[in-house]
Amino acid sequence: MGNSAYLKKYVENHPNNKMAWYLLGKEYEASGQAGKAHYCYIQAGNVYEAFEASKIPLPEEVLSGYKEGLMKETHRREKRRRFARKLSLALLIALLAWIPSAHAPGDRQAHGPVSAGADLGEAPADVLEPAADPAGGGAPPAAPAFPGPAFTAIGFGGDPAGTQAEAVGGLLALQRQTGFVPIHAAALGMDRTGDWLVWSDDLPVVFGLEQSPDDGRTTLQAYDPAACECAPPDPAELQQQARKWIPQQESLGVLASAMTQYKQAKGAWPSSLQDLTGPYPDNWIAGTDPTMAQAFGPLLVQLKNNGSAASGNGHAKAALAEGMAPGQRPFFAEPYETIVDTKEHVLAVVSGNVLIRSYPVGLGGDRTPEGTFAISEKVVNPNGKDDGEFGSRGMQLSDTNYAIHGTNEPDSIGKDESLGCIRMGKKDVEELFDLVPKGTKVKIGKGILPKLKNVPADRFALGDRQDQTNPHRTYHWLD
C-alpha cells in the first residue's frame, strides 16, 4: 500500500480518471481489502474489464511511468499547498513582530514562535523579539490584553490556502485596530455566492488565533476538518459566544448607518440616541436595544475619527458591546443599503459585499422603476391599519409615489402584480423596517442579486419603540 495515499488523493481530485481508480483498486487488492478494491473496480469500468480480460502484463509492469506521473503530480500539489501554508505563516509572523507582547509592563519576554496547530504543519523555530521603540531604542510598552474571544467574519470555501490567508488577515486586523491584544480571536465563515458573502445567524467558527499569556506563543487553529485535514478541537463554546456577537453586529450596523444618514441630512452628528428615535417623522430608527444604548458614545467617537478609536474623549477606548475588545469597530463598516432585483423578485439588505438579509418580493414588472432612491419616510400602519393594502409597514422612496410596504395579497409575492411598488410579506417587511434607517439608499435593477432567501429563524426586532404612525396623511402609493 505504498502508493495508495497518493492514488486516493488523486482520484478525489480526478474522479473521472478510470485508470487511477483501477490502480487504486489493485493497491487495495494487494493489501487484502477486497471490498474497497471491488468498489474501485466498479468506478474503473471498462478499464478494469480491458486489463483483467487481457493477456498483457499487469498494470504495475507496463504503467509504471503513468503511475509515477500520478505520484509526481500529487507531490507537486502537496508542495504548492505547503508553500501556501508557509506563506500565510510568514505573513502571520511578520505582522506579529509589530504587535506588542501581552505580558505586563516591564516584562521583557519576547514573543514566542508562531505555532501552527494541527492544521498548518511544522511551526517555525525562530523566536521574534518585539519591535524596537524608534524614540528610545528599546522594546515598546506592552499593550493591555483582552481575554476575548474577539470575533470577525470572513469568506469561507473554495481554495483552502486562500481562505487561510484571509483568516490570518482578518484576525490580525482585530489586533491592529485596537490598542489591546486579543488573547483569543476567532473568525466565522460566510458562504460565498458569486461576488457576495452571505451573513447568517449561525455562522460557523472556522479559524482561531490564540496567544498564550504565559510565553506569548501564538497559535492559528483551523476548526473545519476539510481545511486542516485533521480532527480539530470542539468549537462548541466558541460557537455559543459567536451567536451573541452576530446579533450585536446587526444592531451596531443599524446604529452606525442611522448616525451616518443623520449626519448627511442634518450636517451634524446626532448628540444622543434620542435624536434618532423621535416619533414620526424623526424616526431614523424604529427603536433601540441594549447594544445601541451602550455603543452610542464610543461609536460616535469612532465615526467622528473615521473609524479610528485612537483619539477622542473618554469613550475612545470603551467597548461597543459586551464581548468586543475596547476600540474594536463594528463588523459592518459600510452603511446598510437595500437592493431590489426585478428579475429575481428579491430584496436584500447589504453592507459592502456582505448580504445580510434577502427576501422574496412582489413587483410590478416594467411599472417598477429602476434606479437609485432613498428611504425618505418610514411609517407604521399606513392609513391607520395593519391589514390594509399597504400592510403594517411602509417605507417611501425619495418622496415619490413608490414605496416598499406590506400587502393584503400575500399570494402576489414573487409575481408582477403591483402597480409599481415593492410588496413584502408581513414578517419580512417588519424586520426590514427595523433593519434599515431612514435615508438608506435603495437600488433597483435587473440581475444584480442571487435568487436567495436569507432570513433567520429569530427575526431582528428593536424594542423601546416610539410612536411611528402618521394619522394625518392618507397614502396613495402605487400599490
Q: Which residues are catalytic?
A: 405, 421
Q: How many CB atoms lie within 10 A of CB 403?
A: 26
Contact 210, 146 (CB under 8 A): no
Rounded Cα distance, 409 and 388, in Å? 9
Residue 11 CB contacts under 8 Å (≥ 6 apart), including other chains = 17, 20, 21, 24, 40, 43
Rounded Cα distance, 394 and 392, in Å? 7
Q: Looking at residue 388, what DSSP letter applies?
A: S
For 372, phi then psi, to 5°, come to -115, 130
Rounded Cα distance, 264 and 284, in Å? 12
For the record, the C-alpha cell of 136 comes out as 528610545
Q: Are strands 441-445 and 337-341 parallel, antiparallel or unpaired?
A: parallel
The C-alpha angle with vertex 39 and arms to 34 and 42, in degrees rounded to 5, equals: 125
Helix (H, G, I), strand (E, B) or coil at 298: helix
Rounded Cα distance, 351 and 257, in Å? 10
**Can you state the angle between helices 236-266 and 426-435, rounded to 10 degrees?**
70
Helix H or strand E encompassing 265: helix 236-266
Find the length of the chain. Answer: 479
Contact 185, 174 (CB under 8 A): yes
Contact 113, 217 (CB under 8 A): yes
DSSP readout, 116-172?
-TTTS-SPP---PPPPPPTTTSSPPPPPPEE-S-EEEEEE-SS-HHHHHHHHHHHHH
Helix (H, G, I), strand (E, B) or coil at 35: helix
Rounded Cα distance, 122 and 16, in Å? 33
C-alpha 349 chain-centroid distance: 14
Gap between the terminal Cα atoms of the chain: 70
Residue 201: how many CA atoms within 13 Å on its side-chain side? 10
Cα dist. 419→224, 295, 376, 423 in Å? 48, 41, 20, 10
